Amino acid sequence: MNTFSSWSHDRASSANMATEDLPSDFDIVILGTGLTESVVAAACSRVGQRVLHLDRRSYYAGNWASFTFNGLLTWIQEQNEEPKPEEVRDWSGLTEEGEELIHLSQADSASITNLQVFSYVSEEEEEEEAANTTEEEKAADEEAVKESSETESADSKEDDEEEEGAGEEEEQPAQAEGEEPEVDQPRPSPSSQSEPSRKKISYAQLVKEGRRYNIDLVSKLLFSRGSLVDLLIKSNVSRYAEFKNVTRILTYRHGNIEQVPCSRADVFASRQLSVVEKRKLMRFLTSCVEETEEQTAYHGRPYLEFLQDQQLGDNLQHFLLHSIAMAAEDTPTEEGLASTRHFLRSLGRYGNTPFLFPVYGLGEIPQCFCRMSAVFGGIYCLRHSVHCLIVDRDANRCKAVIDSRGQRISCSHIVMETSYLDRSKVATPSRFLSRAVLITDSSVLPSESDQQISMVTVPPEGGSPAVKMVELSPSSMTCIPGTYLVHLTCRSVGSAHQDLSPLVTRMFRTTESQEEDRRPSVLWSLYFNMADGTASQVEGQPLPSNVHICHGPDSALGHEDAVQQAASIFQSILPEEEFCPPAPNPEDIVYDGDNTSTGEDRGDMGQDDEQNPEQNQNQENRNQNEENQNQENPDPEQNQNQGNPELQSVGPEERPA
C-alpha cells in the first residue's frame, strides 16, 4: 500500500524546508486538499502546469479526511474549541498600482456542528478484574464438571449397554423424520453462535490500538461503473490504492435486517422471494436497461406509482425503491429509473454488488490524487495558507496571492475550497447532513464470514428521513479485529443525535441489559452535522474571473458531483487539454541524454510547515495490519480485491490506451 509516508522527509530536512521561501511564480494555486481540489491538482500537474497546493490544516482531505481513533479525538477537541479572532495585518505594501486585496478566512467555516460523543465501554481496570473473575469461575466449573462426570460414570456403568441399544433404536427414526426442532437446536443461528464469542473491548484498548482505525468524516461508496472509478482507471491513480467489494446489500424492514437480492445469482438463490416474485423481479430489471415508451409516459409521476402499476408486490417494491434506486416514494419516475440503471450497470464488474470501498477509508482517495500531482511536479504544504488575493481592478483577475509568511506568489488561476472565502461572502448553508459513527462489537447481520462489508438502507418511517448505513469489517483496514465500524448518514431534520439516535437504539444495544439480546453493542459513538456542500452559495460581489470555488461533500452515496465539478473547473482553466490523461508506468519512462525523465521524479511533498503525524506515520501500522489481516483472513474469496487487478489493469477492454 502506497501512502504519504513514502513522500515524507526526515524532520531535519522538513524543518529546513519550512523556513525556505516557495517559488514566486506558479500557474495554479490551490487552497484545500478535498477530493475536488485534489483531482484538479492532479489533472493540472499531469499536463505540465506548475501547481502549488496548500492546506491550512495539519491533515489532508479536509471534510473528506479519514482519522485514526486518536486523531479523531484530537479533531473533535479542535472542533469544540472557540475560534480564535483572526489577525488583521496590513499587506498593502506588497501591492502595486491598480491592485486591490481580497482577504480570505483563516479559520474553518462552520461546516461541522452539533458534535456529541458517547462511550459505552468501561475502563481497562474493570475489564481486567472481570477477566480474572471469569478465569476463576471457569476453573471452578471445570472441576465441578469433572467430579460430576466421574460420579455419573460409576453409577451408570452397568446400564451403558442397555441404554446404548435403546438409544440407537430411538435415534434412527428421529433422523429419518428430520424434525426441525431437533435439527436446529444443536445448530444455533449465526447470531447466537457469535454471542458467546464476543470479546469485551475497553476504552483504553480503543485508544491503545487507535492507530488501526481509519474513520471517515464522510460516508460514501464507489459505484463500480461510476465516474470516480473510471477516472481512477483512466489516470492510473488506481495504482496508489486498494479496494474491497461491498459484499452485501441489506435493508432494515419491520424491525429486521434482510438481504436484498440484486444480482441474477442472488435473486435465484433468495429464500425471501417466491418463484413468481423472482420471475417478476428479473423481468422488471431486464426491462429497465433501456428506456421504453411506457416508462416515458410516467415522467413526472412518482416512481412508486410506476412500480405499483407493474404488478409488483410489496416485497419487490420495497427492494426496488429503497435498496436499488435508493429513492423516496415521491421521486419522479425518470429519476428513479436513472438510479436503477446506474445500480444495474455497476453490477458484476467486480462482484455481486455495485459498490467498492477503498482499503483504509475514503480519505485515501484525495491523497492518491495529491500524490499524482506531486509526481508531476506539484508542491504541497500543510499548515500553510493564503491571507489575501491580489486582484487587478481593471481586468478583474487575480494576479497573485500573499501567503501566511507574507510572500507574494504570482499565479494565473486560483482554485479554493468554499471555507477559504471570507464568511461574509458565503451564504449560511441551507441543508445539512446528519452523521453518526459507531464502533460496535459485532455485525448487524452475522454470517459465517466475519469479513463482510455491508450497505444497509433504512427507509423513512414516521416522519424520520431515510438513512444510509455502511458497516465496515476489519478486512477494510478501518477497525481492529473484534469490532465493526458503522457509518450512518441522512438529511438533517434536527441535530444528528435527534435524527439518528432513535434508529441506533432500535438496531443496537447502547446500555447493558440483563435480558437476552443479540443486537450488536455500541462501544463508542460520535454524532455531528455536516453542511451539504451543494447548498453553499457565494453571495455579494462577484469573485475575479480566474478564481474557482469547490464545495464540500454532498448527500449522494457516490462521487459523481465531486468528479464532475473537478472536470468542469479543469476545462474552464485549460479548455484545450485532456482531463487526467493516463500517467506513464515507471517502466515506460524514457530518459534523454541529460538523464532527465518525463517528470516522475519532480514531485515535492516535503514543503509541509509541519509533517502531518496522523497521516504520515501509519505506514508501519498499515503493513502490520495487512500482515495480521492475511493471517486472520485466509479465505482467498474475501481477499480477492486486495490490490484489485481490475482497478489497476481492468482487463483488455478497460485498460487505458
Mean pLDDT in residue range 636-647: 43
DSSP H/E element including 249: strand 248-253
Residue pair 40/415 in contact (Cβ under 8 Å)? The answer is yes
Give the model confidence (pLDDT) of 296-322 as tens digits: 999 999 999 999 999 899 999 999 999
**Beta strands in 364-431, from DSSP E residues, in sequence order:** 379-382, 386-392, 397-403, 408-410, 413-417
Q: In Å, how far are 269, 270, 336, 489 from 318, measured between CA atoms?
A: 19, 15, 13, 20
Q: Would you identify the CATH topology of the domain 107-131+190-212+432-531?
A: Guanine Nucleotide Dissociation Inhibitor; domain 2 (3.30.519)
Count CB neighbours of 300 within 10 A. Answer: 8
Contacts of 595 (CB under 8 A, 6+ apart): none
Give the model confidence (pLDDT) of 388-431 as tens digits: 999 999 999 999 999 999 999 999 999 999 999 988 787 777 89
Q: In Å, how far are 146, 194, 199 from 137, measured between CA atoms?
A: 14, 21, 17
- pLDDT range class, residue 655, cuts 50, 70, 90: very low
- Is pLDDT at 342 greater than 50 in this prediction? yes
What are the structural domain ranges in the chain? 107-131+190-212+432-531
Contacts of 240 (CB under 8 A, 6+ apart): 2, 367, 368, 371, 372
φ, ψ dihedrals at 187, nearest 5°: -120, 75
The three-point CA angle 289-290-291 to 5° equals 130
Give the model confidence (pLDDT) of 68-115 as tens digits: 999 999 999 999 988 777 777 888 888 889 999 999 998 887 799 999
